[in-house]
Structure 1
């Protein structure tokens, strides 16, 4: 389960809801039935959440915040390159998912490949955008990442797609200590950051612009 200390009412509801899903494989029939199991009044639930979907969105936000907390405790993290920060995030994210594997598999097992914005990751996606904006911004400043018209504003979408891909690989990974997932993280990260670097494509674009502007043809 999600590691949380000093359990507050919202955290307790998340934990109990997660346990119910793991035990039954289904969402509680009603909020009333769920609260009755917990020995709580239905009104207590609505003080914190408007629906079961709201709880699930919060579960994924909590997972993300747990990853951020671990990264922030690493004194060396702030000095990493953008690529190293991204790798650290992905590997830490997988470690946090391992602690919640049964739940993640239950929720993501039938996630369609074309599903780019799962409803239950809505809150997590918002937190991710803030997080990755800083990582990409630092890379642009050091020129580790190339600034490109229009494309630069879409880098975060590509990295979000990588997260979904890695989750799918991990769900189906039956290798020892999830070695296939580790390989997927490394190979996709290397590829994407190579593509985000300044390279042959940029030189070709620069040449075409030069040729057009100076009639050098």
Structure 2
């Protein structure tokens, strides 16, 4: 009796793609080659993705979606203040990345042009900005709608830059269990909230000392 062929899903295609890249240290040459290597029809691929690049973008979006799913499983999460919610997101997200570090490093260090690497995060970026708008919505209470939108956009973009800086630090972190990234997260999130409260000096100095010390060690 012939073995029944496994049902193809978006998740299985993503898993196949990540394995292919890690095992071959390169991208598939084409959808046809990728499908043939993994024993499914090329037409099945297009049920879920338009091209190979869209898989790469989807992977980082899936890391984000899984992070959101996990943090909301914590029964205490909804009662957290905004700072605690953001810290919960950061620690969970970077645990997710650490569990898939080989792929993430390979993917985000592929191009010398950093802009090309960041483009892989475009779908994730949209989800992250929506998440930031959600948890920060209570802080934006101005009556002027235009000013309110400016504040919202500023907070979202600042949070995105902060996440990119944290991601860059994590990619270069060689400490055990990436403990220095945990310190970076705690200090940078604390600083970002104190900047909004216009009382940043102590945290700014503390964060600056941490970055300076790490820079000296790495030179």
Q: TM-score range by the shorter chain?
A: 0.7 to 0.9
Q: Is the 8 A contact 1:81 1:139 kept in 2?
A: no
Unpaired runs of 5+ in structure 1? 1-6, 142-146, 201-217
For residue 126 of structure 1, what is the aligned residue in structure 2? 126
Moved more, 44-53 or 110-119: 110-119
1:86 Cα deviation from its structure 2 partner: 0.6
CA–CA separation in structure 1 for the residues paired with 2:39 and 2:110: 33
Q: How many residues align?
A: 189
Q: Deviations over 1:138-165 (max 9, x none)?
A: 3446xxxxx8783443111111111111
For residue 106 of structure 1, what is the aligned residue in structure 2? 106
Distance 1:188 1:156, change over 3 A: same
For residue 89 of structure 1, what is the aligned residue in structure 2? 89
CA–CA separation in structure 2 for the residues paired with 1:76 and 1:116: 38
For residue 216 of structure 2, what is the aligned residue in structure 1? none
For residue 185 of structure 2, what is the aligned residue in structure 1? 185
Moved more, 188-197 or 115-124: 115-124
CA–CA separation in structure 2 for the residues paired with 1:80 and 1:86: 9
1:34 Cα deviation from its structure 2 partner: 0.7
Q: Is the 8 A contact 1:22 1:102 kept in 2?
A: yes
1:199 Cα deviation from its structure 2 partner: 5.0
Residue 31 (1) aligns with residue 64 (2): no
For residue 168 of structure 2, what is the aligned residue in structure 1? 168
**Cα RMSD (Å):** 2.4
CA–CA separation in structure 2 for the residues paired with 1:195 and 1:114: 28
Q: Is the 8 A contact 1:61 1:124 kept in 2?
A: yes
For residue 47 of structure 2, what is the aligned residue in structure 1? 47
Name the larger-Rg structure: 1
Q: Secondary structure at the match of 2:28?
A: coil
For residue 11 of structure 2, what is the aligned residue in structure 1? 11
CA–CA separation in structure 1 for the residues paired with 2:94 and 2:111: 17
For residue 212 of structure 2, what is the aligned residue in structure 1? none
Residue 22 (1) aligns with residue 22 (2): yes
Q: Where do 1:74-85 residues align within 5 Å? A: 74-85=74-85
1:109 Cα deviation from its structure 2 partner: 2.5
Q: Is the 8 A contact 2:133 2:152 kept in 1?
A: no
